Every structure is written in C-alpha cells, then in structure tokens.
Amino acid sequence: MWEHSVENSRIILAGAGNLATCLGTALVKAGVTPTAIWSRSEASASALAAKCGCPFTTDINALPDADIVITAVSDDALPHVAGQLAARYSDALLAHTAGSVAMDIWREAGTKHYGVFYPMQTFSKSKEVDFSHVGIFIEACAEEEYLKLEQLANRVSPMVYRATSRQRGYLHIAAVYACNFANAMYSMAYDLLEKEGLPFEVMLPLIDETAAKLHHLSPAEAQTGPARRGDETIMRKQQAMLDGTKSEVYALVSSYIAEKAKNNKQL
C-alpha cells in the first residue's frame, strides 16, 4: 500500500485551526509540503493553504489521493470527519491529533490503517511555535503504521514518544493544569494588577523564572510562597483583599500547597 518514504509521501491536513496552522507551517519548514488542506471553513482553509503553498478544499470527497491524513479538528467534530475520511480513503494512514480521544475512534469509523499524532503544546494562530521543542506522542494500530507516524513526527521534532490512549488522556489533563490552568493563574494576576493601575509586564521575570526553575527542581522543591511556608497571617490578609472566584481559588490552591508540603516533610 504505502510505497513512499515520508519525504515523498502525500500528506493531507484535515483542519485549519491553531494546531493545523502551526503543524502545517512546521512541515513546510521541514521540507514536507502538504498535498492539500481541508477545512469546513473556506476562510481558514484558504489562509493555511496560502501559508503552505498548496491547494485547499472544503469538500472531503474532492480531496486528492494521499498516503497520510492528519486531522486537527475539534473533538466534537472528529467522529463525523473521521467517518467521512474513512469513506474517502481506503488505504491511507489516518491519524488524529486529539489528546483526549482514544485511537479506537478510527476502528469505529471503519478504516484499516490508523493512529494518533498528538503534539502536546499550546497553539495560537498568531504565535508561531518552534516545533522542534514540541513533544509528539504517537500511537498506532500496528507497528508499520507506528513507524510511519514516528518518521513524520521526527521531521518536525526530536521529542517523539510512544503513548497509549490511556496515557495520552492523562497527558492531556496534565497539560490542562500545566498550561491552561497556569495561564488562568496569570490571568487572575493580570486582573488584580489592572485594577491597581500596574502594568502586567512587571510579572514577566517572575513568570519566566517560575517556569525556568522546573528545569532544575521538581514542582514540590520549587514551591515557594505563603501557603508553602504556612504563613497564616499573610494568607488571612490576602484572602480579605479578594472576592469571588479568585478568593475560592486562593483557598483551594493554598490548601493543596499546604497539604503537599506536609506530606513532603513526612517522607
């Protein structure tokens, strides 16, 4: 069925959102120009096709033949898109990029060659991502398919790992905490400073250092602050200056930090 190396293989991106845009750009940089882009939205499809220098369509059945099709659509849209792709392609290797969707979705869609290609990163269209620093987690229906996806992944990143659907599910949740929820903490800091007329920029060295510390220390070792020290006086004072969701978050996260510090001391 699949007689080309990744260099010569025909790759289709089904999706033109944040992830597809960053992946498409990275593939082109790595010398792998997609054969075509599909998206439900003509505006998105045409914008990404222009970046990649390849054709696009909004009709899955109008897509050209392919060796590998990578979907990067919302989890809600995935079952329908997977079904349509399975009907259009009988021999191509179909892979999705969703952290929390099991590989089985492809078997259920009725295709033979399938897998998962999950790049764990936060993608925004307006901020180009250096894919060489993105961990990519691969799973496939069989070893042949695994190796093809691994080969493709290695074109854009040296950090390629094998992960089961269960592991990927937890990786995705861990990413929600370490990225989405960490960013929500930045957002709460932004709100507080804005109210006092202070520029958010003053927090950047602190935010950078907090992230950089983890290259040397575990999160438990890197933890600082009133809750870590058990400084009840400050915690009461700060709680009294907060309200709403921020106040609830303060109490809940502080109790997690204090509990964790107690357990670490007991070890």
Task: Decide: is 166 part of the binding site for its own copies (CB under 8 A).
Answer: yes
Least distance to its own copies, CB of residue 250, Å? 8
Q: Which residue among 5, 8, 61, 126 contacts its own copies (CB under 8 A)?
A: 126
Q: Is 50 in the site for its own copies (CB under 8 A)?
A: no
Q: Which stretch binds its own copies (CB under 8 A): 50-58, 61-69, 80-88, 167-175?
A: 167-175
Residue/partner pairs of 211-220 with CB below 8 Å, 24 or more apart: 220/260, 220/264
Stretch that binds its own copies, among 5-13, 34-42, 56-64, 159-167 (CB under 8 A): 159-167
How far is Cα 117 from Cα 7, in angstroms, rounded to an integer?
A: 17
Closest by Cα among 174, 118, 115 to 148: 115
Pairing of β 68-71 and β 56-57: unpaired
Rounded to 5 degrees, what angle do the CA atoms 165, 171, 172 make? Answer: 90
- CB contact at 8 A, 70 and 117: yes
Please report, as residue ranges, which positions from 103 to 122 form the binding site for its own copies (by CB under 8 A): 120-122
Using CB under 8 A as the binding criterion, the count of chain residues that bind its own copies stands at 97
State how far the Cα of 229 lies from the Cα of 9, in Å rounded to an integer: 57
Should residue 170 be labelled a site residue for its own copies when binding is judged by CB under 8 A?
Answer: yes
Segment lying near its own copies (by CB under 8 A), choices 5-13, 53-61, 72-80, 139-147: 72-80
* Residue 38 half-sphere exposure toward CB, CA atoms < 13 A: 23
Instruction: Output 146 or 161, the one with its CB closest to its own copies.
Output: 161
Please say whether the beta carbons of 83 and 109 come within 8 A: yes
Task: Take residue 233 and report the two structure tokens written for it.
Answer: 């006086």
Give residues 179-198 in contact with its own copies (rule: CB under 8 A). Answer: 179-190, 192-193, 195-198
Q: Torsions phi, psi of 130, nearest 5?
A: -80, 100
Q: Does 77 bind its own copies (CB under 8 A)?
A: no
Determine which residue in the list 40, 84, 161, 165 makes contact with its own copies, applying CB under 8 A: 161
Determine if 53 is a binding residue for its own copies (CB under 8 A): no
Could you tell me which stretch among 37-45, 62-70, 80-88, 168-176 binds its own copies (CB under 8 A)?
A: 168-176
Which of 135, 146, 154, 155 lies at the binding interface for its own copies (CB under 8 A)?
135
